[in-house]
Structure 1
């Protein structure tokens, strides 16, 4: 079976999801190719979408939130030009991209971004994709705007069955919804004992351990967080991941070098062993990106959420906090209080883990792969 996975460069999660499902399908014998839709239409469009997303979500949060809310609630026709621009780009680039697809001759197309799904829907409308099966994957704990507007994409994978009611309210027919969970790399579904994980990281498995992450670009202010965590009186081990942010890594290293106290601070840049760090930790402090959340759920790791991007990450917070799986760090509930309360309340820590276990879908990647591959048999 030939599977084509279509993504869009706008944050790291969409590509990571594409890689997770691609690797799983490959391991099961499928021929898999992954494409960035707009890289084949226009590099200018690709770069504009990527940089525009990063800039607006970080520096224009009030406007970004307003645009997202209007799009989510059907008010986009008056205030939000983004859907019309994307539709225009897709309409202009459809014929060009159809030729690209013909070279791959896929049996199934999987979209990990709604813009890619909109392109597929446009090609389906033009009858350019014949009988090719199509699946979309929503990479957050909500239904992003415009997923209800791609009726020719046959199935839509969502993060949880608890979201089905909301999705149907938004206009997505229940028979098209696959509540498999967000696909994550299979390594997050493999058991690794705390002791073995700690040995790999050269840390003490008996000490309370916190993993600090700030997204793939390392936008978090880890030094400010460390200043608060290292004065609460707990002998914490702090695993601090700075991603690709070299300036932040240097600042964390400088903090670790001058710090004298009961905590241990271990700085890291971009890492490839997050699953090991999660297995060794008691909780994670992170932005609530859909992929990171799903990885933490798979590892049954309680979450303290910080600095959500307006729109989709705020919806992730709503889902996680309202279902008892996380706490949100705010001005009035700062990180030091949150950590102190969590480690001094074993009942709360236990209940969080139990709720996460009940709702998590660590097998999401394999379930989706098996669902796709069953078409080969029909």
Structure 2
């Protein structure tokens, strides 16, 4: 008999949505704010809460993950690229959360228990990994989503238990399905961005093109080089330069462009960035996932400068593939590169049209709709299945081509039709020995696994059953010998 959960009682009075982020850069928190805004537009959400998990962790932990990352970006970019590549294969690290992270996660776990969410949305891999652990331990009974904030999928975002994973583009969805993830658990929605209440203004084509230069994001000396190069451009243009909280940089740039009259406008931190994106004709700056998504939604093509190795380089590759961006690899030619875009007849307009096609302004609303409408049971990926997915990724196999003991099979809830588990085939054979009925059906039940030898099985059953006494499932996937994964 089904036991009453926090979810069922809370849902009667409306959804309780918890959004977990991590302040490593601004993008993850910006995506969280976008989802929060989308929650306000729905009538079925009773309460929403946003929590930056780093803000409730220790000062040392926060400094190592937050500030430490940007120190590496500035001084050792090659190490950032190496770290991105080495952590990119999904499930490279399996098993429990390390003790240091677990200690720092204690305040987050307490906050989750106090809030009693019916849905949890993670915009960073740290809370996503934590939520997977809580689902498997039976601590959390809420629909859980992982939202990626870059155009390329990064393997750290894939956890061992979740309800939905949202990627930025269709190629990421195809990648995950090629690795063995079921299509009913992966959606390509775009990256969540905040939306503006008023329709965008019509760009005045009779005026010179307006450049929007994100100087605060590109860093001090490099930003000055970018602006200095625009002083040599032959094309007619105006430029708005946003320096953020970097007052010293703002003063340097103001002095640099003082002789150019009113062609340049230099701003510090501003809350009018959404309006500036709508007014501009060409953006000059770094291709962070959120910045790029905001530009695409505004139909604003980009000139990419000084991208962070790893995710920003890959973001840039995608935007250039779509025809919505150009990249300049040398500061000395940035002015020439922008000139090339502005002087070639029709090129800027073609890039603007490509940006509009690429933009996904409704991503946040789509994430909410898909998660809240998702099946109540999570997808659980066994540790053995995680090994198969990792090996398939590293050896460039399409997981669905594999058969044999280490191939992937899916357990599908007969009632809802949703995939509830990914297992290795030899695990399925083991389950069938204990849970097959006399007529050949497979009905999972609690309490039938050995307390010592079946720890993994018991943890998977706890997450799949969610308090039920029985769960009829069917298996899908390879059952005949063909080719096993190389050892």
TM-score (norm 1): 0.87
2:185 corresponds in structure 1 to 176
The 8 Å contact of residues 17 and 118 in structure 2, kept in 1 or not, is answered as yes
Matched residues in 2 for 1:112 and 1:63: separation? 24
1:133 equivalenced with 2:132 (yes/no): no
Conserved in 1, the CA contact under 8 Å of 2:282 and 2:300? yes
Instruction: Tell me if 1:117 matches 2:133.
Output: no
Q: What corresponds to 1:15 in structure 2?
A: 29
Over 3 Å counting, the alpha-carbon distance change for 1:54 and 1:172 in structure 2 is farther
Structure 1, residues 118-153: CA drift from partner, whole Å, max 9, x if none? 1111111211102x10011100001123123x0312
Structure 1 residues 164 and 340 mapped into 2: Cα distance closer, same or farther (>3 Å)? Answer: same
Aligned residue number for residue 253 of structure 2: 252
| Residues 134, 234 of structure 1: alpha-carbon distance in 2 compared, 3 angstrom cutoff | same
Q: 1:255 to 1:234 in 2, by over 3 A?
A: same
Is residue 109 of structure 2 the alignment partner of residue 98 of structure 1? yes
The 3-state SS of whatever aligns with 2:329 is coil
How many residues end up aligned between the 2 structures? 361
- Matching residue of 2:349: 350
Larger radius of gyration: 2
C-alpha spacing 1:298/1:74, structure 2 compared with 1 (3 Å): closer
| Corresponding residue for residue 325 of structure 1 | 324
Q: State how far apart, in whole Å, the 2-side matches of 1:345 and 1:301 are.
A: 17
Question: Would you tell me which structure has more helix in proportion to its own residues?
Answer: 1
> What CA distance in whole angstroms lies between the structure 1 residues aligned with 2:106 and 2:273?
41
What is the CA–CA distance in structure 1 between the aligned matches of 2:72 and 2:122, rounded to whole Å?
Answer: 23
Q: Residue 72 of structure 1 corresponds to which residue in structure 2?
A: 88
Match of 1:233 in 2: 234
SS of 1:187's equivalent in the other structure is: coil
Q: Does the Cα contact within 8 Å between 1:8 and 1:38 map onto a contact in 2?
A: yes
Matching of residues 243-322 of structure 1 within 5 Å:
243-257=244-258, 259-260=259-260, 264-322=263-321
Q: Distance in 2 between matches of 1:260 and 1:55?
A: 34
Q: 1:126 to 1:367 in 2, by over 3 A?
A: same
Paired with 1:364 and 1:165, the residues of 2 have a C-alpha distance of 18
SS at match of 1:128: coil
Match of 1:63? 79
1:223 maps to which residue? 224
- Structure 1 gaps, min length 5: 78-82, 196-203
1:346–1:175 Cα change, 3 Å: farther
Say which is worse superposed, 214-223 or 282-291, in terms of deviation: 214-223
After TM superposition, give the deviation of residue 373 of structure 1 in Å. Answer: 4.5
SS in 2 for 1:350: helix
Kindly report the root-mean-square deviation, in angstroms, between the aligned alpha carbons of the 2 structures. 2.8
Are 2:226 and 2:331, in contact at CA under 8 Å, matched by a contact in 1? no
Moved more, 347-356 or 151-160: 347-356
Q: Using a 3 Å threshold, how does the CA distance of structure 1 residues 215 and 185 change in structure 2: closer, same or farther? A: farther
Residue of structure 2 equivalent to 1:199: none
The TM-score normalised by the length of structure 2 is: 0.68
Q: Report the Cα distance in structure 1 between the residues aligned to 2:128 and 2:100, rounded to whole angstroms.
A: 13
Quote how far apart the aligned CAs of 1:161 are. 1.6
Return the match for 1:159 from 168, 177, 199. 168
CA gap 1:244/1:291 in 2 versus in 1, 3 angstroms: same
Would the alpha carbon gap of residues 338 and 114 (structure 1) be closer, same or farther in structure 2, given more than 3 Å must change?
Answer: same
**Matched residues in 2 for 1:154 and 1:265: separation?**
48
Aligned to 2:390: none
